[in-house]
């Protein structure tokens, strides 16, 4: 999961994910142990094309008919049944992170954060069973308040 945070900071410069509406899957990550093999497999299976991400050779952006829909990235270790993350669009990320914690979830350290170039903000959480789920907001996080004097 830590690979995502590092790779996401270097984007291809494409447009932000499509606004699909709150509560709907807006993005996903697929992890693999062999990036070239996975590109061949998914490209032939679904007709996806791939674009390199700046600053890493460990991930590519997935394009469906020219639209960014997710990333294909090299796993950090062995693939488990829980590798791969879907990102559900939310309207207010900070509040949803708080609600997730109230409901027994945990926000992964380092999240939430703004995506570069105004592409919104993301958070990664673990549900009460430990399964990772992402949240994406098309708006950036609120600016931090200056410390009280």
Q: Which of 41, 42, 16 is nearest to 27 (CA)?
A: 16
Note if the pTM is more than 0.75.
no
Residues 6 or more apart whose Cβ sits within 8 Å of residue 94: 112, 141, 142
Tokens, residue 16? 């932000």
Tell me the DSSP string of 129-149. TS-EEEEEESSPPPPPPPPP-
Query: Tokens 């098309």 correspond to what residue?
Result: 138
41 — phi, psi (to 5°)?
-60, -55
Residues 6 or more apart whose Cβ sits within 8 Å of residue 20: 26, 89
More confident position, 86 or 148: 86
The fold for domain 2-10+17-137 equals 2,3-Dihydroxybiphenyl 1,2-Dioxygenase; domain 1 (3.10.180)
125 — phi, psi (to 5°)?
-130, 160
Residue 60: pLDDT over 90: yes
Q: What is the mean pLDDT of residues 64-88?
A: 83
> What is the distance between the alpha carbons of residues 133 and 125, in angstroms, rounded to a whole number?
5
pLDDT for the residue 52: 92
Model confidence over 120-145: pLDDT tens digits? 999 998 888 788 889 999 999 998 75
């Amino acid at each position: 999961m830590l690979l995502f945070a590092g790779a996401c900071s270097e984007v291809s410069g494409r447009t932000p994910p499509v606004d699909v509406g709150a509560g709907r899957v807006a993005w996903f990550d697929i992890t693999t142990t062999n990036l070239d093999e996975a590109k061949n497999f998914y490209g032939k299976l679904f007709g996806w094309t791939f674009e390199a991400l700046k600053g890493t050779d460990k991930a590519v952006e997935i394009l469906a008919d020219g639209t960014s829909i997710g990333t294909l990235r090299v796993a950090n270790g062995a693939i488990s049944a829980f590798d791969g993350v879907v990102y559900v669009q939310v309207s207010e990320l900070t509040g949803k992170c708080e609600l997730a914690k109230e409901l027994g979830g945990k926000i992964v350290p380092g999240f939430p954060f703004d995506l570069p170039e105004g592409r919104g903000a993301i958070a990664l959480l673990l549900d009460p069973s430990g399964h990772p789920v992402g949240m994406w907001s098309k708006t950036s996080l609120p600016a931090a308040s200056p410390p009280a004097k």
